[in-house]
Chain A
């Protein structure tokens, strides 16, 4: 056997776990769920083909779909820029060689190390209108208090605050990017008389462009699939003010499983969410790619 043959066999052997994983956990679910989205299926008896009925009901008759989609879009549009900006700002702040910087990095990263459920249940208590810390702080500052998670106008921003509080992961990845920007280029620009703002927008931002793109993709993906926050903090309420699509799918497919399993219908919802995520991702990739390459002058 030649070396080339041996390498091919070995290569596929090494990569085989991922190939099997792709088939088992990506390809198989995608194919079967696409099929099931055209069926009426309770998961127990065989699925019955109903064509486009699920999608038709979803778009025309389901009273919670459009409110849910609206909230989801609102959530994505607000939370993605907010968390990216907060993460980048924190990264810039701690990207210094100064005494104590590591302590601050650790403190800002701390909320991410803690288990999400522990953190979220803590915040649920913080938002308690009577006993919670949030209203205590507002009272202390002589500001009007709020019902927080009980107020349809405040519930979504309240969830966003928790997200921004735990933005340390985004900060770390941005920090890794900032530290890879060569010091000499900054120095040269300084000598040429570029001020800090100009250096940041003309040198730093383009150089961390690829990382920015990755972060944007991850943030978009995460925002569309926000689940824990809703499940633990609000259960979609009050009204439909936090009923994100991901949570609605869980409700239709799993939570109501014992009483009225609607797996076919939930699968159709999954596909609607999937198509939206993919469309947004592709559009974003196109937009950012042209920006990034121009920035690098390539």
Chain B
């Protein structure tokens, strides 16, 4: 390449690269700003959780604790009865997650891989019921649970998950649709029945979607506030959301540092789970990207 060509080539390369660099810098600036506004409330939570008892009522409030008080993470949970609430929540969450995954995957298999009369009808009904507001069921179901003697037990919080939540069935079905038919056909020729195909072929193949359902169902049960509020009365059976909210409305104010420290512990399990399973979660949600078909 001659010197002349280099001189001529340079400005062109620069004009192409400069807007690219600018857009890159602007992108990082924008994302940084958004990230700060997303994280600020959480940093604030951590800061309160570490503050000393005198610090929290100090005016104007400081962002950094003057006295770091790590003991909040022991005293707070003790005051709120955190570990009992945690145990209750773990029991309810684990059982309902198992129920949600098993039932949604089984129903999803039946509705997308087995050819039987009426399956379109049932699928339409299941996906239609996604839009029936949950409040419709609250009063009749509460009455039903009362008459069955199941009120103030965890059954109303766990049982419904075993009947295939419509949104999860929908998600499972979308994913099953993307798996080629010839897989089952060749398995059938080899003599495998549907149960065998489901357990041996589909469960490994659909890992992203059932992990997604597990995470979503875990988050839902871990979070649920309205159902425990309606179905539980005995404070010994309360789940975390209920117990935390009750503590806040009872005695808030002076003990926000205890409260926030406990709140941070409350937040840890779903956070850890999300980070462990993040990759599958993205893949599973990707199935929604093909909803058009």
Contacts and interface: CB of A to CB of B under 8 A. Distances in A.
A162 to B, nearest CB: 9
Contact of A133 (B41, B109, B140, B194): B41
Contacts of B126: 18, 22
A273 B60 CA distance: 44
A111 B44 CA distance: 14
B129 A22 contact: yes
Contacts of B260: 122, 125
A11 to B, nearest CB: 3
Contact of B115 (A7, A26, A131): A7
Contact of A26 (B30, B40, B137, B278): B137
A267 B141 CA distance: 12
Interface stretch (A74-82, A101-109, A148-156, A187-195): A101-109
Interface residues on B, range: 35 or more
Interface in A188-240: 207, 209-211, 214, 217, 221, 224-225, 227-228, 231-232
Given A18-B122, A277-B131, A108 B38 contact: yes
Nearest to A176: B289
Contacts of A266: 139
Contacts of B134: 225
Interface in A79-127: 90, 93-94, 96, 98, 100, 104, 106-108, 110-111, 113-118, 121-126
Contacts of B271: 113-114
B110 A43 contact: no
Nearest to A121: B248
A10 B110 CA distance: 8
B35 interface: yes
Nearest to B168: A18
A263 interface: yes
Interface string B37-63: 111111011001000000011011101
B122 A107 contact: no
Nearest to A292: B292
A126 B213 CA distance: 32
Interface stretch (B4-12, B67-75, B157-165): B157-165
B95 interface: no
